[in-house]
Structure 1
Amino acid sequence: MELAEEPGAEVALGGIETLTEPKKAEAWMRPVELVAAALLAVMMATVLANVVCRYVLHQPLIWGDELASLAFIWMAMLGAAIAVDRHEHLRLTIFLPLIPERIRPWIEVAGLVVTCILLLRLLPEAVSYAYEESFVTSPALGLPMSWRASALPAGIGLMALLMVLATVRTRNWGAILSSLVLVGAIVELLWAGKPTLASFGNWNLPIFLGLAVALLLAIGVPIAFCFATGTLAYLTFASHAPVFVMMGRIDEGMSSLILLSVPVFVLLGCILDETGMGRAIVNFLASLLGHVKAGMSYVLLGSMFLVSGISGSKVSDMATVAPALFPEMRRRGHSPAEITALLATGAAMADTVPPSIVLIVLGSAAGVSIAGLFKAGFVIAMVLLLVLAVLARWKARGEDMTGVRRARPGIIGRTLLVAAPALVLPFLIRSLVGGGIATATEVSAIAVVYAFLIGVVLYGGIPRKRIVPMLVETVAMSGAILLILGTASAMSWALTQSGFARDLTAIMTALPGGAVIFMLASVVIFLILGCVLEGLPAIVLLAPIMFPLARALGLNDIHYSMVIVTAMNIGLMAPPIGIGFYIACKIANISPDAVMGRIWPYLVALLVGLGVIAAVPAISTAFI
């Protein structure tokens, strides 16, 4: 998966970080960026004010959640438009190089045309949705709900305009015209065949929500627009449900109050990068463990474990750890390919460590306790850390320890003193959420303030000129994520309303083996989806379907969550498709071909850990 621009640019949803500079933005979008950044600041200020009023003044801010929600949905939709402008929407590009070069430009233009048609078709529905919401009044602020719902037509309209401009600027008029004719012919054919499609019943699901979405993914259409196009086509040609309903599902899917913590944790990752807090943790662990055999491998894994607890970002984690450790590991005889394999699988291990955005989204989509997920996530990551550490020790049996000396106590003490404020943060997050003291959203805001203040006082601070760009980057990343969640929610609703979930429940409960077979099937499904879609869209798509099945079979929510998240993370790092694998190679500046043969033992170790986690529910549930 790559940025929706030239090959070689990559992005990760679990990490939500770009690895290349975006293309030059539209000059007229600058005010939109500033407004979106201001909305993020308003949302942050409102959440923090709510925290102070609730826990210090013991007087909750009655209108706080409504104001934060209003700012959030506008920030999300404007952020999605900014992500279009900056070419930062996630898409799958692994199949594009396989297309003959002479027709590849036509394919890419066709993808732009399809996206334009989608957005222009949804725009009047979004306007109607905002109008209908005007008849509802918010309970605390007393405002018409159209104030927040208008964010949908505003964002969709901006995205449509930007996509039309991008299409026109290709100046490939032949491809544009032929794409329009082809899409028009397909629409006309499907409309004429609507009575026949109606007779297919649920066989329309694999046609529109399977085959059509897969085809769009293969030609490089961003994931959010693939989901929306498949859902729109299904509702239009194979269902009696009005397209209007998509707007409500998209709104609901991307505006849950739990999801307010997503942009805040993304901002936290940006602060981590800017202040160097992650590097302080790496330096401390290196001084403590660097003198033992496989010590630097332990430092790498331990750093991924702890740094992920600050940033919630796989890309941020890898980009922080790799430059600090790779030179010394290479000096000790570790090959760059071996180190990269360990880095990639270490990132997969770390994604269950709070504040994992994947866990937050899972809690929102499946109705699972985020506090319980955060408590269990630490334990699960420890199991995976152990199996990787055992393999790393065996791999390092021939490590060159010449000249390696134990760090003096004074050096260890100094690095600990520098790293201590950063080391506190992941445990602060876990204890506040896990102890039920504060919500994930409140904790995320507290963590940002803590990291910002500590960064300013102890780690050199953040240059003033970087603050607004950092907010805009956060908004764009968050908008791209949240739009995927919204469109995936609409697609999931279509699956559920079709009766597919009911039929799947009947099939799975009738299978021999019951919960065991279901768990094995879930592992396979999420391993594959982790390769292709990454974690967030897979969760939002399938959680409403899979979790009721799991509950019906007697599986604990937390245990099942840990199994599927671990499976997705392993798939994310599995070549030849897993996006996380290519991100690790990009960060390490090494050819994926060189790493592909070295990563499999580490993936097998993770699969062993996954088998233990799946077989022993107590590992996930003992501390909740």
Structure 2
Amino acid sequence: MIATLFLTFIILLILEAPVSFSLLISTVVSMFFFSDIDLFAIVVKMFRASSNFSLIAVPFFILAGGFMDSGGISRRLVTFASNIIGHIRGGLANASVMAAMFFAGLSGAAAADTAAVGSLLIPAMKRKGYGKDIATSVMATAGSIGIVIPPSIPMIILGVTASISIGGMFMGGIIPGILIGVSLMAVNIIYTKIRKIDPEPRASFREMLRSFADSFLALFTVVIIVGGITAGIFTATEASVIAALYAFIIGFFVYKELSFKDLPHVLVKSALTTGVVVLTIAAAASFGWVLAAEQIPSQIANFLVSLTDNRWILLILINILFLVLGTFLDPSAIIIIVVPIIWPVVQELGVHPIHFGVMAIVNMAVGQCTPPVGVALFVASGISGAKLSDMMGTYLRYLGAMVLVLLFVTFIPALSLWIPELTGYIK
């Protein structure tokens, strides 16, 4: 049964079927031929997996990202970031990273982050002579920060799946997200020095002040989301609704760039994206249910423990597992299928749940920009028109910087636990 399940799944992925359909069809095929259980049980399992209250945050954060993009918020963030650090070696590339970090605090999704910032800065980098390889590499990796810095849709799904504090993971992702941004900027500086690309002219103090004032309300969204959750004013789920409402008010009434004619497009796009995410969650739940019924999770857990009893070696093995799966699976699928498998191992190691959660999310951020399924990579390359074969040498340097941060997060738990401790999520 398990052989049929995985074989069908792999064949469908090779045929480029959507991950959600691959998961669901392989589950149905394996149960139809090898189980006496009514297939209607799959529907029940899918419904239960997708009806968790905390998942309400997913469509609202996606909607908030749509309002921000159409309402001029993302453009203002890009301008502000460019004025702050555009004059430093790396210029527009560093501004792209900083803008992506700003937008990460608003959208919660790597694809939205990459598209919103990349559509503005990738063409600008190409005109400045950065080349398609650098422009695409910078934006794909920087866009992946969208799921590390709070809010984060994968963190919500992970929190629901493993009963880990979502607010705690939100706080724990701040330092790793900043470290990824800094590491990418370091690569930018090295590359632009080698290729002798001049930075942007220094913005005047008046221009900086004007762009800060223009983007202040956009930046204040982060304060509302993170501050509200930290202060206990509202939950992560409630924060998503507030973020969407705030983004609509700012874009429609203050900036006046969001109009009624934009609403159908934003709502439909948000609904389609939500549908893909939730269907993947539901399909992955049924797939994971079959694995659990065949006791695959416990077997894998026992196998990992049998290899070594050293905590750090096991964490490396878990990282490798996540990194490999991240090259062809969506974060939602990885979380729902794999986390229940390795969660017993993690608990046995004594790893703090928030540390594990943040480590897993950073892993998935790497996966979001790793071929063949890296969504951020393909959004960025779609904007730039770059072929993967022409940019791989450059791209691997940026990817290596992210993996280096992953190692720091894995072996220095304080990077993901310090802020949760300060904010009371760890007693």
Determine if the alignment matches structure 1 residue 321 to structure 2 residue 104: no
Give the Å deviation of 1:309.
Answer: 1.3
| 2:299 equivalent among 489, 500, 503 | 503
| 1:530 equivalent among 315, 323, 326 | 326
Cα distance change of structure 1 residues 464 and 242 upon mapping to structure 2, 3 Å threshold: same
Cα displacement string for residues 282-323 of structure 1 (whole angstroms, at most 9, x for unaligned residues): 111211222222232221111111112112232332222234
> In structure 2, how many angstroms separate the alpha carbons of the residues matched to 1:314 and 1:579?
8
Q: What 5-or-longer segments of structure 1 have no aligned partner?
A: 1-203
> In structure 2, how many angstroms separate the alpha carbons of the residues matched to 1:323 and 1:228?
34
Determine if the alignment matches structure 1 residue 394 to structure 2 residue 190: yes
One-letter identity of the residue aligned with 1:285: A
CA contact (8 A) 2:19 2:330 kept: no
1:218 corresponds to which residue?
14
TM-score, length of structure 1 as denominator length: 0.64
2:263 corresponds to which residue?
467
Cα displacement string for residues 237-286 of structure 1 (whole angstroms, at most 9, x for unaligned residues): 33344323222210111110000111111111110111010110111121
| 2:165 equivalent among 369, 373, 391 | 369
2:204 corresponds to which residue?
408
Cα distance change of structure 1 residues 296 and 222 upon mapping to structure 2, 3 Å threshold: closer
Give the Å deviation of 1:614.
Answer: 0.6
Give the Å deviation of 1:331.
Answer: 5.2
SS of aligned partner of 2:386 = coil
Determine if the alignment matches structure 1 residue 267 to structure 2 residue 54: no
2:241 corresponds to which residue?
445
1:305 corresponds to which residue?
101
Number of matched residues? 419
Give the Å deviation of 1:422.
Answer: 0.2
Bigger Cα Rg: 1
Determine if the alignment matches structure 1 residue 586 to structure 2 residue 386: no
**Aligned 1:46-195 pairs, distance under 5 A:** none
> In structure 2, how many angstroms separate the alpha carbons of the residues matched to 1:522 and 1:500?
16
SS of aligned partner of 1:548 = helix
1:244 corresponds to which residue?
40
One-letter identity of the residue aligned with 2:341: I
> In structure 2, how many angstroms separate the alpha carbons of the residues matched to 1:504 and 1:327?
46
CA contact (8 A) 1:363 1:370 kept: yes
Higher relative contact order (CA 8 A, sep 6+): 2
Give the Å deviation of 1:462.
Answer: 2.0
One-letter identity of the residue aligned with 1:358: P
1:436 corresponds to which residue?
232
CA contact (8 A) 1:208 1:231 kept: no
Q: What 5-or-longer segments of structure 2 have no aligned partner?
A: 421-427
SS of aligned partner of 1:622 = helix
SS of aligned partner of 1:623 = helix
CA contact (8 A) 1:374 1:433 kept: no
Cα distance change of structure 1 residues 580 and 447 upon mapping to structure 2, 3 Å threshold: closer
2:423 corresponds to which residue?
none
> In structure 1, how many angstroms separate the alpha carbons of the residues matched to 2:297 and 2:257?
51
> In structure 1, how many angstroms separate the alpha carbons of the residues matched to 2:180 and 2:197?
26
Give the Å deviation of 1:534.
Answer: 2.1
CA contact (8 A) 2:118 2:380 kept: no
> In structure 2, how many angstroms separate the alpha carbons of the residues matched to 1:332 and 1:364?
44
> In structure 1, how many angstroms separate the alpha carbons of the residues matched to 2:24 and 2:151?
29
2:365 corresponds to which residue?
569
> In structure 1, how many angstroms separate the alpha carbons of the residues matched to 2:259 and 2:63?
15
> In structure 1, how many angstroms separate the alpha carbons of the residues matched to 2:42 and 2:111?
32
1:420 corresponds to which residue?
216
> In structure 2, how many angstroms separate the alpha carbons of the residues matched to 1:409 and 1:222?
49
Give the Å deviation of 1:518.
Answer: 2.3
Cα distance change of structure 1 residues 266 and 579 upon mapping to structure 2, 3 Å threshold: closer
CA contact (8 A) 1:485 1:536 kept: yes
One-letter identity of the residue aligned with 2:137: A
SS of aligned partner of 1:319 = helix
Cα displacement string for residues 397-430 of structure 1 (whole angstroms, at most 9, x for unaligned residues): 254438x532222111111111000011123212
Give the Å deviation of 1:328.
Answer: 4.7
Cα distance change of structure 1 residues 208 and 504 upon mapping to structure 2, 3 Å threshold: same
CA contact (8 A) 1:359 1:373 kept: yes
Cα displacement string for residues 379-412 of structure 1 (whole angstroms, at most 9, x for unaligned residues): 110121122222222222254438x532222111
| 1:607 equivalent among 387, 395, 403 | 403
> In structure 1, how many angstroms separate the alpha carbons of the residues matched to 2:159 and 2:343?
11
**Aligned 1:220-235 pairs, distance under 5 A:** 220-235=16-31
SS of aligned partner of 2:342 = helix
Cα distance change of structure 1 residues 413 and 621 upon mapping to structure 2, 3 Å threshold: same
1:155 corresponds to which residue?
none
Cα distance change of structure 1 residues 389 and 400 upon mapping to structure 2, 3 Å threshold: closer
Cα distance change of structure 1 residues 324 and 212 upon mapping to structure 2, 3 Å threshold: closer
Structure holding more helix per residue? 2
> In structure 2, how many angstroms separate the alpha carbons of the residues matched to 1:329 and 1:466?
28
CA contact (8 A) 1:547 1:557 kept: no
CA contact (8 A) 1:253 1:485 kept: yes
Paired-residue identity, %? 27
2:74 corresponds to which residue?
278
CA contact (8 A) 1:371 1:436 kept: no
Give the Å deviation of 1:448.
Answer: 1.1
Give the Å deviation of 1:533.
Answer: 1.3
